[in-house]
Each structure stands twice: as structure tokens, then as C-alpha cells.
Structure 1
Amino acid sequence: MAQIELRGLVPEVFARENPTTVKDSGIWLSDKPVSFSRGCRQLIESASGQGKSSLISFIYGRRTDYRGMIAFDGTDIRGLDSSCWTAIRRRAIAWLPQEMMLFPELTARENVEIKRSLTGWRSPRWVEDAFERLGIADRIDSPVGHMSVGQQQRVAIIRTMAQPADFILLDEPVSHLDSQSNDCAASFIEEEASSTGAGIIATSVGNPLALDYTSITHL
């Protein structure tokens, strides 16, 4: 996948409200198409409640309660069937949701292994090296439910990167990390994305992933 394009996009809930609710948005109801190209480094900033998680969920196809159009390489995603979405989510788009969606009863390694085994993209050694690099090697065999939120975010980052992708969607990926851990996570993500030419679309409400962004948009 080379490009994601948004045309006249707005959440249904905002569309039913006064248009001034999104009048200053750089994405919602934009007068011109908003596009993200493979290889981009895009930061989407917003205050809480402005729809950043909704936007990421719309692009990933998890939610469809929006007006306007989202297109992958010119194809409206509303027309994609389940088999198409399965292929896209395995090979074209990686997603880290704000709520992380880890399995608390499983270990950190097991949470990552679920993704790795489905795609066959990374080796077990890559997983161990990733935990070491993000400073949580000592927790790799601990149940996720026994880890801090910041540690869980790093597990979720590793899981997200354990698949091939043209675009990586990161919804507030470092909201609970300090600056040093943020820098470490950003370096890891940047290196992995650059190795395949993947684009990164990240959101933030005030603690952005420490990347060198090609574009910053206020939602």
C-alpha cells in the first residue's frame, strides 16, 4: 500500500453537532483531501475528546461510524470484504490502540508471540532483542497484568512491530513513558520502520513519540 487518503472525513457524532465543533481541524471536513504516503512520519495532535482514537480506528477499519471517505491507493475501504481486511491487517497496516488490548493473563513474550506466529515476520531472537532494547528484558516472562502501564506500552510497541506493514498506526504509544524511555521507543520504531520503508501515523495529547516528523497536524 502506497497511500492513505481522507476525503471529507468526519465522525458521525461530530457531523450531527454544530459544524463549528470541527472548524479548526486539519483533518475533519477538510476542504481538500488529506493524504499519508508510505514512508511518512505524521503526528496528529489534539486535545482529549477530539477524535484521534476514532480516526485511527476508522483507518484500521475497526469502526465505520463516519461520513466522508477513506481510500487505500484510491479504493474506498467501505467496499473491502473481510478477506481483504485480513490481508491488509496482516501485511499492510500495523496498529497499536491506545488501550493496548494486551492479554493480562499471558506473559509479555506470549502476547508478542501471538502476533509473531501469525505473520512469521520476526524471529524469536528478534523478540528477545526488542525487549532488551526497550529495557524490559527482565519482564519478558512476567504476566502482563503484573506490569506497570509504561511497561505494558513497551510490550504493545514490540507486538505492533512484530509484523510487516506499509503503515504503522500508533495511538498515544508513549503516554506513560518518561523522556528516556520515549527516546528509546522512538529509536526502535524508527529503525524498524525505516528498514521496510513504512509510514508512521502517531497521535498525541501532549507527550508525542519522539520522532523527526515530516508533518504535524492539529486534529
Structure 2
Amino acid sequence: MTDPAPEVMQKISPAARKHGVGFALLGLLIFAASMFLWLIDAPLPTPAWALLWLVSAGLIFLGWAKVFEPEVSLNITPRQIEYLHHRGSWQLDWDNLVRFDSPRTQKGAETVELPYLAFCVRDIEPILNSISPRLSIHLISEQRHLLTMALRHERPDLHDYSSYFDIPDAFFAPSGTRYTGVQALFAIRCRQLRELLGYELYVPESALDRSLDDFIPWLRELHASRNEHL
């Protein structure tokens, strides 16, 4: 009997990470130039010195933040999709996936495509059991603006958003399991986003190695052919 063929894994490296060294070097260059001007006692006004220091520090910080992002943001196999972040990860089985796309919202008569790869899932429990607490907390905070924007566009008739931000301290899954703490907060936030935008999980476009217009058709082809590698 021959051994089964190994699963093919696709590793996605975030395009944003590639520019990290460039930002850091530009920041160091501006810092070096400002130091040279200071040493030669260049007649610059105080606001100009402050601007040079701030710009150089900001570029260095931004560059190093990008460099220290994980080299791989998504691991994709014929069985699952794994999202990797420096605060943790989550795993989504293909069999638990309903659909994926770039979410859209209505802004008046205009349809706005949001810069995320979004996933709609059948059962949130496997996600709750795989996601790290640190990543849960980060996503709850990071996606607060996404929830606010969705409420403004999708529920313009709603003037009191308190029910969306005063989150209960417990979540009851369809299986009857009671989740509390960070797991409950994350589950309820996922349910709110599903209600408003149609998806629970969101990966920012900056975590991908190409544009959403290119990535989504590629992922669909991968999904369609995954049984060949199981």
C-alpha cells in the first residue's frame, strides 16, 4: 500500500511586511539628516526640528512593527485555513465554511467594498475553541470601528447603539455550551458582524500577499480543487 500524498500547504506572507525595512531605513535616514543639521547648527525653527524628530520616530516605529509581524499570515491546506497573528491564531475547517468574500455595505446609494477577506461559518464553536485569548481581545478592539461603520451604514434608523456595545457576559452556543469571558465577548461580536455584514471572521487585506480582487478568485480555485489533495 502506498502512503497517502502529503497535503499541499499554501503559505501567505503579508505584502505590508515587505515595506517594513524600507520604512525603518527611511526613518533612520531622516534621523541622520536631522542630526547632521543639528551638529552644523542649521537655522531651522523649533517646529521644523520637532517635525523631523516625529517623522523619523514614526517611520522607524512603523517599519519595525511591520518587520516583527509574522512572516506567514495564512496557512491554507486542503483541510483548513489558519490565520496567524503575533497575538495568536485561529483555525477554520473548510467543512465549517459557508462562504467567503470581500464584505460590502451600503453608503446611501453607493455600495462600498471593505478591505477585508471575510468568512461566514456554520458553527462558531470550533473557532472559539481554537482562537487564543490575546487574539480575541485584539480583534474585539480592532473591529470596533468596523462594527460602528456597519451600524451607521446598515442601520441608519438606529439612534441608540448601546445594545451592540453593552455586551452580555455569557454566550450560549447552539449546542447548549455556555461561554464566558473573552470567548463570550468574541462570539457575540462575531454574531453582531454576521447580522450586519454577513460574515463572522475578518482578515485585513494588508495581511494578504495580493489584492482582494486577485486573492479571492485564487482562493475559490483552491477551494474547488482541494479534494484532489486530501
**Category of TM-score, reference length = shorter chain:** under 0.3
Work out which structure has the larger RCO, using CA pairs closer than 8 Å and 6 or more positions apart in sequence. 1
TM-score (structure 1 length as normaliser): 0.26
Look at both structures and tell me which one has the larger radius of gyration over its CA atoms.
2
TM-score (structure 2 length as normaliser): 0.25
